[in-house]
Amino acid sequence: MRILITGGAGFIGSNLVRLALAEGHHVLNVDALTYAGNLASLTDVASDPRYQFAQVDITDATAVGEAVSGFQPDAVMHLAAESHVDRSIDGPGQFIQTNVIGTFHLLQASLEYHRSLPAERAARFRFLHVSTDEVYGSLGETGLFTETTPYDPHSPYSASKASSDHLARAWQDTYGLPVLVTNCSNNYGPYQFPEKLIPVVILKCLRGEPIPVYGKGENIRDWLYVEDHCRALLSVVQRGTPGETYNIGGNNEQRNIDLVHLICDLMDELRPHSELHPPSGRVEQSEGRAPQHNSPRPVSGRGAGGEGPTAHSSLITFVTDRPGHDLRYAIDASKIKRELGWEPQENFESGFCKTVQWYLDNEAWWQAILSGDYQLDRLGQN
Ligand code: NAD
């Protein structure tokens, strides 16, 4: 297929570009290269003759139209977005511009292009809108999000994604554009910008700095390894039914505090000699390991780390919670398993172990980011 991927220089997008090329597709990566876009995430595929890059801001309707008509895609996979909830609290305007207006321009350009195609190609064309489970709001202690869960977004980020989901579905219902929507749980893995929880914890461990955990760390997320997400997206674009929504999740619910402890334990094993002396006066009293209500499975082969005097977990610091912080997200991914045969390949142990190891092995990648404006600072305190 000829696949136009927006946001291909971001975390999920760069993993998706790599996987699509590996599966033999031609890819045009359309990305504005915001603070979150990084072509260094694609150096290994940059010279692949089936790969092209266009620096285009999706809020620029003309440039988006030219990119779509120029590349003549069989499918558009739309990932470009402002994606960080904390940033959406500080500056919601850019989230409306990119996530809502940008999606509108991409839908319009795709519709115009779709209408220009001969019938057989038009019938095969797909527009995949990649979204989040955060549009569904927060769950209590039980229950799962299904594809029919009513929308109830709480942050500017999730409200902007909900808005774009509705636009995408409306272009299917009103204009007949073959649209598919996916709503996915939290991703983790290689090339994630170090403002999100998992890389923050790893890099704070390496620097011996306080590891900020919002509130009491009791918020629960369903964690999915990014390559599993990308495999799901390619399945949906190739075999999904237009007009349908597919929830994608990892069957891997973890409380934030348990996950942070797991990463600290992995760091104890993999990098036992990192600096463990937080600057004095900067660490609030750690409340220690919270009750094991949803304990992670033990990581095999782990050393004595964890509770010892030099454990990275001694850096854990509870900080003021995020405003409007949803308590629990959990996905029922039975539809995509039943209809498309997809399920995650990585399990809890393998995925997190690989991820920690990747950040340890790819210091040049994240050091280049941290030498810029972003310094692992806390954002979005309202
Ligand atoms: P990211 O922030 O790492 O990457 C976003 C990419 O979009 C960057 O390369 C950025 O340069 C690009 N971009 C931003 N604004 C743009 C614009 N105006 N024009 C063109 N490009 C622009 O995000 P991510 O974590 O890779 O998420 C990708 C998509 O997946 C998003 O739509 C997000 O809502 C969705 N999603 C993410 C997760 C997750 O856990 N990360 C979970 C579910 C869904």
Indicate the pLDDT class of residue 326, thresholds 50, 70 and 90.
confident
pLDDT of residue 349: 81
- The answer to the question of residue 181 being in a domain is yes
Q: Which pair of structure tokens corresponds to residue 13? A: 């997008």
Which pairing describes strands 220-222 and 75-78: parallel, antiparallel, or unpaired? unpaired
Rounded alpha-carbon distances, angstroms, from residue 252 to 17, 28, 267 = 25, 32, 21
pLDDT of residue 195: 85
Mean pLDDT of 357-372: 92
- The answer to the question of residue 140 being in a domain is yes
Task: Name the average pLDDT for the chain.
Answer: 90
Residue 234 has pLDDT above 60, yes or no: yes
| Coil, strand or helix at 225 | strand
Q: Which residue has the higher pLDDT, 276 or 157?
A: 157
Domain that holds residue 99: 2-191+225-251+328-346
Annotated active-site residue 218? The verdict is: no
288 CA → ligand 1 middle, Å: 34
- The answer to the question of residue 218 being in a domain is no
280-315 per-position pLDDT tens digit = 433 333 333 333 333 333 333 333 344 554 699 999
CB 382 within 8 A of CB 89: yes
pLDDT of residue 325: 86
44-88 per-position pLDDT tens digit = 999 999 999 999 999 999 999 999 999 999 999 999 999 999 899
Mean pLDDT of 92-97: 98
Percent of the chain with pLDDT over 70: 88
Q: How far is CA 351 from the centre of its chain?
A: 15
- The answer to the question of residue 151 being in a domain is yes
109-127 per-position pLDDT tens digit = 999 999 999 999 999 999 9
CB 27 within 8 A of CB 50: yes
CA angle 353, 358, 360 (to 5 degrees): 100
pLDDT of residue 288: 36
- The answer to the question of residue 378 being in a domain is no
CB 234 within 8 A of CB 1: no
State whether the beta carbon of 32 lies less than 6 angstroms from ligand 1.
Answer: yes
Mean pLDDT of 342-365: 94
Q: Is the dihedral of CA 78, 81, 86, 91 positive or negative?
A: negative
6 CA → ligand 1 middle, Å: 8
Annotated active-site residue 82? The verdict is: no
234 CA → ligand 1 middle, Å: 17
Residue nearest to atom 5 of ligand 1 (CA): 10
Indicate the pLDDT class of residue 322, thresholds 50, 70 and 90.
confident
- How many other CB atoms sit within 10 Å of the CB of residue 91? 12
pLDDT of residue 117: 98
Q: Which pair of structure tokens corresponds to residue 242? A: 């237009």
Total number of domains constituting the chain: 1
240-282 per-position pLDDT tens digit = 999 999 999 999 999 999 999 999 999 999 998 665 544 443 3
The CATH number that applies at residue 180 is 3.40.50.720
pLDDT of residue 371: 85
9 CA → ligand 1 middle, Å: 9
- The answer to the question of residue 23 being in a domain is yes
344-355 per-position pLDDT tens digit = 999 888 999 999
What is the spatial distance between Cα 75 and Cα 377, in angstroms, rounded to a whole number?
A: 38
- The answer to the question of residue 209 being in a domain is no
Q: Which pair of structure tokens corresponds to residue 198? A: 């998992």
What is the spatial distance between Cα 230 and Cα 188, in angstroms, rounded to a whole number?
A: 12
Residues linked to residue 165 through DSSP beta bridges, in sequence order: none
CA angle 111, 115, 116 (to 5 degrees): 120
188-217 per-position pLDDT tens digit = 999 999 888 999 999 999 999 999 999 999
State whether the beta carbon of 7 lies less than 6 angstroms from ligand 1.
Answer: yes
pLDDT of residue 272: 86
Mean pLDDT of 153-178: 98
- The answer to the question of residue 36 being in a domain is yes
Of the listed 82, 134, 209, 228, which one is catalytic? 134
Of the listed 113, 136, 157, 225, which one is catalytic? 157
Mean pLDDT of 178-182: 98
| Dihedral over alpha carbons 68, 71, 77, 79 (to 10 degrees) | -70
